[in-house]
Chains A and B, each alone.
Chain A
């Protein structure tokens, strides 16, 4: 984990700082929205994931981080309008890709397969399509990746932030 320690503030701060607030919940999780989905609209539909949820807010987006009991960490990056514009994951195994990519899962699967068929060989995956970027790598017992919708990145936010 390359993540820096995140300051935990109890009160709902409204500071002009990069990190406005951070909360850590060790309870049964609420919903988890997939890429491109609206956070509030899917909450009722999603099966709870078991693990710890931590929410971090920056000036231009909110990060929902879920650490599952498997050791898999998923972070979803939510815009001020409530849309998930990016997801990142790391851990000993990959997450449920259909859940985190949602409506982009089919495009992901087709692009991954097309790439293998075009150039045989095992390597990190890089999908750069209009409307969808997926990058992932790793090996048995270590996987890491990111997916985002380029058009939905908030102003001033780069792909480097999604990790």
Chain B
């Protein structure tokens, strides 16, 4: 437990019993405490999610308000994702009326955002965002809807829409990664280098438009008036499958007594938000930490010798017995180094033996071409910091991860 102020002592005392309850069964080698909610601390929960079947999803409630008003709505079950930046909310989960962003010519701005297994599509709208005691004003967010504006061909050509509750498994995605905006400089001007994320949509049809950095969908943490240089996620250790797990999303790095880096090692990322993971003496330089991935995904059966599960679950590993492995993480610039010990259980056995569990510390699968994807199980028993690009912290300037 980090040091904290006297004014937090009461809430801490009230939380101690709960913390011990949710943490019981955790390993002794890892940090097993989480900071109680309030101030700069937003409660998060790993549970089945709004669809009732989500494994290893960390969810939080996010309050959105029509800009400058007290007309607000608290949206539950929003996935906490350090692998993306920006708030995205299903139109079907939104009841408050937000402000539509318009291009200079007055046409509505709409976004197509690629994800690994598809895309999200929908209008860019402006909201005031509140979490714990933090507030960000006039934040561009994406409202996910297939019907408000017709999906352009170039967007549909990415794959499947994720704009439904069943496809998303959440009411929205809270992107609190290393980037301040989702696209960045590439989307500012049109031309061949523009990846085509932002559109303006007159009645005649949607066309790609240049989108200024400040108009792009923003990491809301970067727009908080304080505690705006990054986040920490704290979750207790997990030694056996559990139904749920309570933790904290803490805003700021080294800005309060509860978010000091302490003894955490800093791992710088490269411009693509990757770092280096070395496994069996082989470095993989497109590895990353991502709370929005729901397992430990790495390499493939050929390299690891771990068989994948039978069809249709070939995206998970199914070893005959639990494998204990280790890898070494290193900053993209070579700084920082630390060994990670992790386990890979038989995913089918995990699901079949624990039908009511949604927290699995050793759920894993292949990630053939993108190195190591250290998903949510990596966060169990750790305090993991994510520093936003260009923001100064006691551990240096972001982007980096630290734990």
Contacts and interface: CB of A to CB of B under 8 A. Distances in A.
B117 A139 contact: no
A125 B162 CA distance: 14
Contacts of A119: 53, 55, 313
Interface of A, helix, strand, loop or mixed by DSSP:
mixed
A120 B49 contact: yes
Nearest to A136: B116
A109 interface: yes
Counting chain B CB atoms within 10 Å of each CB, which of A117, A120, A128 scores highest? Answer: A120
Contacts of A113: 118, 160, 167
Contact of A141 (B51, B273, B295, B366): B273
A121 B57 contact: yes
Interface string A110-149: 0011111111111111101000000111111111111000
A99 B158 CA distance: 9
A151 interface: no
A92 interface: yes
Nearest to B290: A139
B140 interface: no
B380 interface: no
Contacts of B169: 116, 120-122
Contact of B160 (A72, A112, A121, A122): A112
Interface string A87-124: 01010111011110000010011001111111111111
Contacts, number: 177
A142 B370 contact: yes
B230 interface: no
B211 interface: no
Given A70-B193, A139-B83, A125 B369 contact: no
A68 interface: yes
Contacts of B272: 92, 141-142
A136 B302 CA distance: 16
A70 B194 contact: yes
B32 interface: no
B154 A96 contact: yes
A50 to B, nearest CB: 4
| Interface magnitude class on chain B | 35 or more
A163 B369 contact: yes
Nearest to B167: A116
A139 B295 contact: no
Nearest to B157: A98
Contacts of B193: 69-71
Nearest to A141: B272
B379 interface: no
A118 B286 CA distance: 28
A88 B117 CA distance: 16
A160 interface: yes
Given A70-B192, A121-B54, A140-B179, A115 B315 contact: yes
B64 to A, nearest CB: 21
Counting chain B CB atoms within 10 Å of each CB, which of A2, A140, A142, A160 scores highest? Answer: A140
20 contacts: A51-B192, A70-B192, A98-B157, A109-B159, A115-B312, A120-B49, A120-B53, A120-B54, A122-B169, A122-B293, A123-B294, A124-B293, A125-B315, A126-B314, A135-B300, A137-B367, A137-B373, A140-B83, A142-B273, A142-B286
Interface of B: 49, 51, 53-57, 79, 81, 83-85, 113-118, 154, 156-160, 162, 166-167, 169, 175, 177, 179, 182, 184, 186, 191-195, 197, 271-274, 285-286, 288, 290, 292-295, 297, 300, 302, 308, 311-315, 365-370, 373, 375
Interface of A: 2, 50-51, 68-72, 88, 90, 92-94, 96-99, 105, 108-109, 112-126, 128, 135-146, 160, 163
The 10 closest A-B pairs by CB, nearest first: A121-B294, A137-B370, A126-B315, A98-B157, A120-B169, A139-B83, A69-B192, A142-B272, A144-B369, A140-B84
